[in-house]
Chains A and B, each alone.
Chain A
């Protein structure tokens, strides 16, 4: 019985240390990889604000529990991210620490107003949109690296 209790305690300890922290996704979307390498295949996708349990780290990567895999460390933050929250003014004396991942509120609504005030830039913004639409699928990137003999 004592051994069983010790075993359970050990399991609890290791389970706790394996997933050491709760973090939140702070990028628009991130691919979860099967191994800590960008060119490895995706095992899932997480969106802005998703909560993850993180564990081991390797270089710029951190392991997560669900879906089981690896994501770049720069894609998560310990601060709270609530994408559905009403953007609320926290007061002039507020500390940004208390509002978790808080900024000044620069968002598409502010960009739209900035564009309205600077109509000469509207055409340039549409070119930025075009540039953002030029995405590279992972298989194409892998093929490009292989054809270029880029050993990693």
Chain B
């Protein structure tokens, strides 16, 4: 999800160089191994937590991880190098962040806006889709490491010489900058968001949740007068379009599931206390 509309404008102005840029990005991200994605993700997660304090409430963290893992395990990429980890961060802005490797955060304000576990499941499904599609990693510009060679993969801690570490850390810093801007500031492209919407409802449904929850959430936000094309949804398609496309996807793929009050009740008891 995105914080402002800048990225949408960038995408529009970059169309002329899109093919060259896309090729470079694809080449760059191909060089990232799952373990490297994990270490990049840890650093982006640290950047998120540095900006928005992590809520270290074990009960709340366990709850959101249970919902998130059920959805992640039903996704196109159920296994990452270090596994999926879901956290809650303090912020007055309803938002969510998907860091490479599977670190996913939702804000306290978002949990207040969300009305049920089924709604939460589709939102987490959307973020899981960004991880599964490697949208954060695809933000890395090839120029950040064109001059670097390749190293045998693996954790291999303590194996590099001081000079190699210096060179690698320089490249790592550039990568963190690229991915951090995308994850925390500019947000993903409208195309990425549409794909994440579509995949998110599939994942939630496959886990047994009713994905109509995300439609209800967007409708409620719209009725409250909250502009879902601002804040966390800035780079998303327009709300009316999103609702229409999500409804069509749910109907076409027969994704609707039974809603159980017990899920809504436990969400309210734990996430909105």
A binds B: yes
Interface residue ranges, A against B (CB under 8 Å): 26-28, 30, 38-39, 48-49, 60, 71-72, 74-75, 81-94, 96, 99-111, 113-114, 117, 120-121, 123-125, 127-128, 130-132, 134, 136, 140-141, 144-145, 147-152
- What residues of A have a CB within 8 angstroms of the CB of B83 in the complex? 27-28
Q: Could you show 10 A-B contacts with beta carbons less than 8 Å apart? A: A26-B35, A74-B77, A75-B79, A87-B156, A90-B152, A91-B149, A114-B43, A114-B169, A121-B43, A147-B262
- What residues of A have a CB within 8 angstroms of the CB of B80 in the complex? 27, 74
Q: Give Cα A39–Cα B266 distance, bound, in whole angstroms.
A: 21
Contacts A30-B79, A83-B155: A124 and B69 contacting too (C-beta < 8 A)? Answer: no
| Closest Cβ–Cβ distance, residue B193 to chain A (whole Å) | 22
- What residues of A have a CB within 8 angstroms of the CB of B209 in the complex? 150
Identify B149's interface contact among A60, A90, A152, CB under 8 A.
A90
> Do A110 and B172 touch (CB < 8 A)?
yes
Chain B interface residue count, Cβ-Cβ cutoff 8 angstroms: 75
- What residues of A have a CB within 8 angstroms of the CB of B35 in the complex? 26, 28, 48, 103, 107
> Do A110 and B151 touch (CB < 8 A)?
no
> Do A104 and B150 touch (CB < 8 A)?
yes
Task: Write out, one digit per residue, whether chain B residues 169-208 have a CB within 8 A of any chain A CB (1) or not (0).
Answer: 1011101100000000000000000000000000000111
Interface centre among B39, B74, B151 (most CB of A within 10 A): B151
Residue of A nearest to B266 (CB): A148
> Do B169 and A117 touch (CB < 8 A)?
yes
Decide yes or no whether B30 CB sits under 8 A from chain A: yes
